[in-house]
Chains A and B, each alone.
Chain A
Amino acid sequence: MPTYRPGPVSLILAALVALFLLMPLLAVIPVSLTPSRMLAMPTGELSLRHYRSLIEDPRWLQSILLSIRIGIVSSAISTVLALCFSLGVWMFQPRFTAALVGFVLLPMVVPPVVSAITLYFLLTSISGFSSFFGYDTWLGVAMAHSVMTVPFATVLILVSLSQLDRRIDLAARGLGATVWERATRIIMPNIKFGIITAALLSFVLSWEEIGVTLFITSVNAITLPRLMWMGLRDNIDPAIAALSVILIIITVLVLAVRSVMTRQSAGH
């Protein structure tokens, strides 16, 4: 327990920072309720027309469905690849582990814009051979997102493996379990929370990915962030405010549920 509590000056400064952090999230609420067709504060009457246009305009629905599809596929690819790799690292502790893990983490530390131009190069090269897999296709976007999310999935799975007791694996090995049995029946059930977290994080990262997506799509594979980007750059569409409010509410609810769950599990 810390015995040294922050004083009044610290609290005031922290409150100012907290206000700064929440301000833009609160600001979208009034904008989303404006009756105006353009970005403006509501003057007098409020309207839900921008929420309606999210449902009625097929472009929003299409891009939401596309983002979900890309998120699921890319999360599956990156979770499976990250799981196999991490199991290999943990079970066999090969030489050069540090260098190999460092290589896998590259897409996480290289500036996103450099990864974007790299994946642009890759997908335009593939487009020369194939029309359904390459630049501006949903499969191409899913693969690019897997490249970007696989380091995060690997870190999460490696962290949960590092908390696992090696002796249970040694016992299984001593009793004659094969590599496959050790992996699927001993190790994986014990790190399933880490695997699920990795899959969820990969999905969320793909769902909101914009930096790379901007480089590798033009007119066909319009994900939700890509559509928001178009609405932000050209002529600011207040429907984005309505969408932002919904996304913020979902985030707050998920975080609240998570915090209650961790509190309960800590209480037991």
Chain B
Amino acid sequence: MRGVLSDRMGAALLMAPLLLFLVLAYAWPFLGVVKWSFTLPTPGLGQYDALLTDDLVQSVFIRTLRIAAIVTVVSVAAAYAITVVWVRGSPAQRLIAEFCILVPFWISVLTRAFGWVALLSNRGLINTWLQSIGFISEPLTLVRNEFGVVVGMTHFLIPFAVFPLASAMRSLDDRVLLAARGLGSSRTRTFWTVFVPMTRSGIIGSALIVFVFSLGFFVTPAILGGGRSVMIAELIYLRIFQSPDWGLGAAISVVLVVFVGALMGLLFRYVRPKQLI
């Protein structure tokens, strides 16, 4: 009896500091944000009403969903292509693929966004080169629009899309592929009718991760969109710091959390958390 009691005490003592820290520094202030959404500037549901009627907020929501959908499709397809080589290539190919996936993964989001500015801006690498070979006379507008945002976000999210795909491809039994080939299926047909369907859980997992990440993206759209292609996260920032309207910023945050929570619920119905690492 004494042993059981001291076990519980020990667990409580060890786990309490972190739980207390997060309750005080995270859960409690989040409730404060929820309170803002119902009380600022006036008590009531006014801010949530504004979310449904305000044209600007509506257009930002629609743009965010559109960009997130495009980025998801492109990132997962690109990640699939490089993951095939990372998991099933020759040792040298695997090493190169790993380098190309992990180096960008570990480099800060700011540096990567800046790299795209250096490539895509009016006086950047691509425009300078195209002009020097006489292909164009006026620089192309490649940043400060949705194109730049999609490119930058896709670049950021490909490594995140790789990990669930790699885990699905690693657990695939090679004998299934050999059987398909042995029964006379061509390489291409084996890929599309056996390999791809058998990595479906990885595709769903990586698509949901990329989509969820895209919805709350802040840094890349703010830099590469140049204020012209505002997404939800940047709208929250602008509502808090530029046109002080804390209530609306808080209400958008609450809606975002609920939406992402629902998507995560969906994610864990399809994939077990362990498959994502």
Measured between beta carbons, the chain A residues less than 8 angstroms from B218 are: 112-113, 116, 211, 214
Task: Indicate if B115 sits at the interface (CB-CB under 8 A).
Answer: yes
Complex Cα–Cα for A125 and B29 (A): 9
Measured between beta carbons, the chain A residues less than 8 angstroms from B6 are: 179
Q: Which of the 9-residue segments B43-51, B53-61, B82-90 touches chain A?
A: B82-90
Name the one of A39, A92, A106, A252 contacting B123, with C-beta atoms under 8 angstroms.
Answer: A39
Cross-chain contact A22 with B19 (CB below 8 angstroms): no
Contact residues of B: prevailing secondary structure? helix
Complex Cα–Cα for A91 and B237 (A): 43
Closest chain-A Cβ to B60's Cβ sits at a distance in Å of 13
A5 in contact with B14 given A121-B36, A255-B106 (CB within 8 Å): no
Complex Cα–Cα for A109 and B273 (A): 12
Complex Cα–Cα for A111 and B30 (A): 13
A228 in contact with B233 given A6-B89, A121-B36 (CB within 8 Å): no
A18 in contact with B97 given A111-B257, A111-B260 (CB within 8 Å): yes
Complex Cα–Cα for A114 and B259 (A): 12
Name the one of B36, B90, B112, B123 contacting A41, with C-beta atoms under 8 angstroms.
Answer: B123
Complex Cα–Cα for A247 and B116 (A): 16
Cross-chain contact A4 with B15 (CB below 8 angstroms): no
Cross-chain contact B18 with A85 (CB below 8 angstroms): yes
Cross-chain contact A17 with B82 (CB below 8 angstroms): yes
Q: How many residues of B contact A (CB 8 A)?
A: 89
Cross-chain contact A248 with B216 (CB below 8 angstroms): no
B residues 194-225 in Cβ contact with A at 8 Å: 212, 215-216, 218-219, 222-223
Q: Which of the 9-residue segments A47-55, A57-65, A229-237 touches chain B?
A: A229-237
Task: Indicate if B26 sits at the interface (CB-CB under 8 A).
Answer: yes
Chain A residue with the shortest CB-CB distance to B36: A121
Task: Indicate if B249 sits at the interface (CB-CB under 8 A).
Answer: yes
Chain A residue with the shortest CB-CB distance to B123: A40
A118 in contact with B240 given A28-B115, A92-B10, A240-B114 (CB within 8 Å): no
Cross-chain contact A111 with B215 (CB below 8 angstroms): yes
Name the one of B13, B106, B119, B249 contacting A251, with C-beta atoms under 8 angstroms.
Answer: B106
B residues 154-168 in Cβ contact with A at 8 Å: 155, 158-159
Measured between beta carbons, the chain A residues less than 8 angstroms from B10 are: 88, 91-92, 179
Measured between beta carbons, the chain A residues less than 8 angstroms from B178 are: 3-4
Measured between beta carbons, the chain B residues less than 8 angstroms from A254 are: 106
Kindly supply a per-residue 1/0 record for chain A positions 193-214, scoring 1 wherever the CB is within 8 Å of any chain B CB and 0 otherwise: 0000000000010001011001
Measured between beta carbons, the chain B residues less than 8 angstroms from A82 are: 18
Closest chain-B Cβ to A105's Cβ sits at a distance in Å of 10
Chain B residue with the shortest CB-CB distance to A111: B216
Task: Indicate if B253 sits at the interface (CB-CB under 8 A).
Answer: yes
Measured between beta carbons, the chain A residues less than 8 angstroms from B22 are: 103-104, 106-107, 147, 150
Task: Indicate if B109 sits at the interface (CB-CB under 8 A).
Answer: yes
Complex Cα–Cα for A11 and B96 (A): 12
Cross-chain contact B155 with A21 (CB below 8 angstroms): yes
Measured between beta carbons, the chain A residues less than 8 angstroms from B133 are: none
Task: Indicate if A174 sits at the interface (CB-CB under 8 A).
Answer: no
Name the one of A27, A94, A103, A232 contacting B110, with C-beta atoms under 8 angstroms.
Answer: A232
Cross-chain contact A210 with B110 (CB below 8 angstroms): yes
Task: Indicate if A14 sits at the interface (CB-CB under 8 A).
Answer: yes
Cross-chain contact B17 with A24 (CB below 8 angstroms): no
Task: Indicate if B70 sits at the interface (CB-CB under 8 A).
Answer: no
Task: Indicate if B242 sits at the interface (CB-CB under 8 A).
Answer: no
Cross-chain contact B110 with A11 (CB below 8 angstroms): no
Kindly supply a per-residue 1/0 record for chain A positions 84-120, scoring 1 wherever the CB is within 8 Å of any chain B CB and 0 otherwise: 1101110110100000100110110111111111111
A112 in contact with B216 given A106-B22, A215-B240, A241-B118 (CB within 8 Å): yes
A residues 1-55 in Cβ contact with B at 8 Å: 2-7, 10-11, 13-14, 16-18, 20-25, 27-28, 30-31, 38-41
